[in-house]
């Protein structure tokens, strides 16, 4: 018989946090990567005339943008509005987020001398982040705030390549050509990413996610040798704070077990790997997050609803399941479809307590 749970009164007792911990839930929790952003007309109106990095460092804007999808969709978690390059920009790296392209670094990192451009990140570097998180926690009530940071490998790739890359050739050349410099660079980035996560948790975030957007470009051997230890170090920096951690990458089907072993409570699964296969690969050791293909949000409702119901059912085999997309919300997505998906997920039966 399914245990009946009273409505959550705190983020710690929310369905999202409970699912991340592998505890019984009232209903399957759902949130969407990039839910706060380009698909919402109210977001586009608010961002008019505000550059991305400036918006990420302005508490009034961060608070409103983060809250928009919670109000509109009724999602079970709010993802903090920021960008993975915010912490490295905060410690002094000269970069800009170029519309239509992404982060662009003025002087790419190529030599040992460049390490001096990456000092430790402290709360004094990001007082606005602390302020934004505190405001959001006060406004969200029992809805948990999800903090996040970019993983060391993905941050390193942006710094070494100078911006987004299709092949990551300079990154891989440095990784194999000067492994000592590579590890020293990633160690610094792990401390920055971990410190950024810690700032968010200490200000009130209830869950954190480490994004390794580009990890799927690596072989498993390269990931285990050159990347996993640094992701583990970043996650370890919040291990004493008693918040669940989520680890997500794109195209990482062959890396899921190793990503979980880096210390995550929840492993995010992108849409290229079925949730059933992911759960089998993880051997029941981790809760999972995912993994509807964002493109299916453009399909007719009948096949979309069938995919949603299948994913929720597959998630019952894991210790816990947080419904999400297998990547971010696409800019031209109809927001009303996202709201319908949330409602449908919430209507599905939850797994029986074990």
**What are the tens digits of pLDDT across the range 46-98?**
998 889 999 999 999 999 999 999 999 999 999 999 999 999 999 999 999 98
Residue 213 lies in a domain: yes
Please check the confidence at residue 1 and state whether its pLDDT lies above 60.
Answer: no
pLDDT digits (tens, 9 = 90+) for 303-349: 999 999 999 999 999 999 999 999 999 999 999 999 999 999 999 99
Residue 117 lies in a domain: yes
Residue 337 lies in a domain: yes
Residue 206 lies in a domain: yes
Residue 354 lies in a domain: no
Place 354 in a pLDDT band, splitting at 50, 70 and 90.
low
Kindly state the percentage of the chain with pLDDT values over 70.
Answer: 99
Binding-site residues from annotation: 34-38, 83, 158, 213, 327
Burial class (CB in 10 A: 0-12, 13-18, 19+), 352: exposed
Q: Tell me the CATH number at 218.
A: 3.20.20.210
Residue 6 lies in a domain: no
**Whether the bond into 291 is cis, omega within 30 of 0:** yes
Residue 305 lies in a domain: yes
Question: Which domain does 136 fall in, by range?
Answer: 11-347
pLDDT at 3: 56
Question: Angle CA(47)–CA(50)–CA(56) in degrees, nearest 5?
Answer: 85
pLDDT digits (tens, 9 = 90+) for 222-263: 999 999 999 999 999 999 999 999 999 999 999 999 999 999
- Range in 96-105, 173-182, 235-244 the model is least confident about: 96-105
Binding-site residues from annotation for substrate: 34-38, 83, 158, 213, 327
Tally the domains of the chain: 1
Please check the confidence at residue 120 and state whether its pLDDT lies above 90.
Answer: yes
> Which residues belong to the active site?
34, 38, 47, 83, 158
pLDDT at 96: 92
Tell me, letter by letter, the H, E, C secondary structure of 231-294: HHHHHHCCHHHCCCEEEEECCCHHHHHHHHHCCCCEEECCCCCCHHHHHHHHCCCCEEEEEECH
pLDDT at 99: 85
Residue 352 lies in a domain: no
Residue 35 CA: distances (Å) to CA of 54, 79, 173, 333: 19, 8, 35, 10
C-alpha span between 311 and 276 (Å, rounded) = 8
Place 353 in a pLDDT band, splitting at 50, 70 and 90.
low
pLDDT at 49: 86
């Amino acid at each position: 018989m399914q245990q009946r749970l009273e409505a959550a009164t705190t983020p710690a007792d929310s369905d999202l946090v409970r699912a991340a911990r592998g505890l019984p839930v009232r209903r399957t929790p759902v949130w969407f990567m990039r839910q706060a952003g380009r698909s919402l007309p109210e977001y586009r109106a608010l961002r008019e005339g505000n550059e991305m990095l400036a918006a990420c460092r302005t508490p009034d804007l961060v608070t409103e943008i983060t809250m928009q999808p919670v109000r509109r969709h009724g999602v079970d978690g709010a993802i903090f509005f920021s960008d993975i390059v915010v912490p490295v920009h905060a410690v002094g790296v000269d970069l800009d987020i170029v519309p239509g392209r992404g982060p662009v670094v003025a002087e790419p990192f190529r030599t040992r001398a460049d390490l001096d451009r990456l000092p430790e990140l402290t709360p004094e570097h990001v007082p606005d982040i602390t302020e934004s998180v505190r405001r959001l926690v006060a406004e969200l009530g029992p809805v948990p705030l999800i903090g996040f940071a970019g993983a060391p490998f993905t941050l390193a790739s942006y710094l070494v390549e100078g911006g987004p890359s299709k092949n990551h050739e300079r990154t891989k050349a440095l990784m194999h050509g000067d492994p000592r410099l590579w590890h020293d660079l990633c160690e610094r980035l792990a401390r920055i990413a971990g410190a950024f996560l810690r700032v968010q948790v200490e200000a009130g975030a209830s869950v954190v996610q480490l994004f390794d957007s580009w990890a799927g470009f690596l072989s498993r051997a390269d990931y285990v040798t050159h990347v996993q230890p640094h992701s583990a170090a970043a996650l370890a920096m919040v291990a004493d704070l008693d918040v669940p951690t989520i680890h997500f990458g794109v195209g990482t089907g062959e890396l899921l077990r190793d990503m979980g072993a880096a210390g995550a409570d929840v492993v995010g699964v992108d849409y290229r790997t079925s949730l059933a296969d992911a759960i089998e690969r993880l051997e029941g050791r981790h809760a999972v997050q995912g993994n509807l293909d964002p493109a299916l949000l453009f399909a007719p409702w009948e096949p979309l609803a069938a995919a949603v119901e299948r994913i929720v059912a597959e998630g019952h085999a894991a210790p816990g399941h947080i419904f999400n997309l297998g990547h971010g919300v696409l800019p031209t997505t109809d927001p009303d479809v996202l709201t319908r998906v949330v409602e449908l997920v919430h209507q599905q039966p939850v797994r029986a307590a074990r």
